[in-house]
Amino acid sequence: MNARRVEAITQRLLHQFRRDRRTLALLFGAPLVILGLLGYLLRGGGDVPKMGAVNLDSGQLGSLVASTLEGSKTVSASSMSQADAETRLRSGDIAGYVLLPADFTAQVQQHRVVAPEVHLEGSQPGLSQSILQSVSQSFVSLASQAGGVQFTPRVSFLYGGPSFDTLDYFGAAFIGLVVFFLVFVITAVAFLRERGQGTLERLMASPLRRAEIVLGYMLGFTVLALVQSAEVLAFSLLVLHVHNVGNVALIFLLEALMAIAAVNLGIFLSMFARTEFQAVQFIPLVIVPQVLLAGIIFPISTEPGPLQWLSHVLPLTYAVEGLRNIMIKGADLTWSTLQLDVGVVLGFCVLVILAGAATLRRRIA
């Protein structure tokens, strides 16, 4: 071991970094961006899940529970009629409601049992959990007033069901994410390699039109991406048994659109990098924020306001929502929400295809 030789390597690396401002910026900027985002997401005082309280009770205990719920800090509950609650549940406006029956007070006083109906939207396990917790807490205060009562809520789900778990919720999103992420990285690196090894210069000196180059790349990688999508889908459904009530062809369609978008995003962004090394740096800049904000892990409805706005601009948000709509809610193309999701992803595809073709300059010097 020769210390001077080791030092020579260390020095050379530091010199190289000094030339590479972009890498330095990334090295010291990206962690702050990512951690800042995460902190804002988790601590930013975002919205709590919305729920309804339907009080049909003729006695006073029902309104006691309802007002306890309304005062809760872990959910935002408001009183409403049952019909109202049902429509708002279906539209996704509230994540659940609790139904206090007409004989609620009587049941508590005579049998010491409370069995309220809790209706949950069910597609987001995290929200369902918060609501169940808040409901049971509101009964704790009831129990202290009325003496010991047995609490057995009767839970029903609009989508999913009691066995619907976190994997089912994440699975739908990850099917799209895995494809998007891998295809993006592979395309960007392949395109940069073409530039680095000089073959792009050769292609530019040929009668090829830039649209032909972009299209050729797109088709080649799309073939790969489609095979990968099919593999991911089959594995998720057949091996992991991820919850799916939707049309498999529709899932595949959305995945394919995401793959095409990823290919073109890769081509487009590789125009802004000179080396493969720099291309990989787009991962924390482009991919990580999307993963945090697209509603994959943290439900968008509970994000702080400004981040919600950002989430609604990210195309991945719509892709993820679309996949969940199909797989969890069984949406088809007659649903307006799914039309929006597919429309946005399609629009994004067109946008990056055009951007890719426009930045691939005929003259590269």
- Please identify, among the stretches 163-171, 223-231, 234-242, 357-365, the one whose residues bind other proteins according to the rule CB under 8 A: 357-365
**Distance, CA of 293 to CA of 347 (rounded, Å):** 19
Cβ–Cβ under 8 Å, residues 74 and 81: no
Interaction between residue 219 and other proteins (CB under 8 A): no
- Please identify, among the stretches 76-84, 203-211, 241-249, 303-311, the one whose residues bind other proteins according to the rule CB under 8 A: 203-211
Give ∠ CA 300-306-309 in degrees, rounded to 5: 60
CB of 203 to other proteins, least distance (A): 7
Question: How many CB atoms are located within 10 Å of the residue 290 CB?
Answer: 19
- Please identify, among the stretches 7-15, 26-34, 148-156, 201-209, the one whose residues bind other proteins according to the rule CB under 8 A: 201-209
CB of 192 to other proteins, least distance (A): 14
Nearer to other proteins, 165 or 201 (CB): 201
* Ranges within 171-200 binding other proteins (CB under 8 A): 197-199
Q: Which of 41, 204, 226, 271 binds other proteins (CB under 8 A)?
A: 204
If 0-12 CB within 10 Å is exposed, 13-18 middle and 19+ buried, where does residue 78 land?
A: middle
If 0-12 CB within 10 Å is exposed, 13-18 middle and 19+ buried, where does residue 16 land?
A: exposed
Interaction between residue 362 and other proteins (CB under 8 A): yes
Q: Which of 203, 215, 230, 310 binds other proteins (CB under 8 A)?
A: 203
> Does an H or E element contain 40, and which?
helix 21-43
Interaction between residue 358 and other proteins (CB under 8 A): no
Interaction between residue 19 and other proteins (CB under 8 A): no
CB of 93 to other proteins, least distance (A): 54
Rg (Cα) of the chain, in Å, rounded?
Answer: 26
Interaction between residue 202 and other proteins (CB under 8 A): yes
Site string for other proteins, 100-139 (x = CB under 8 A): ----------------------------------------
**263 Cβ contact partners less than 8 Å away, ≥ 6 residues apart:** 183, 184, 187, 217, 218, 221, 222, 225
Going by C-alpha positions, the residue among 61, 139, 52, 163 that lies closest to residue 103 is 61
**What does the binding site for other proteins look like in residue numbers (CB under 8 A)?**
197-199, 201-209, 362-365
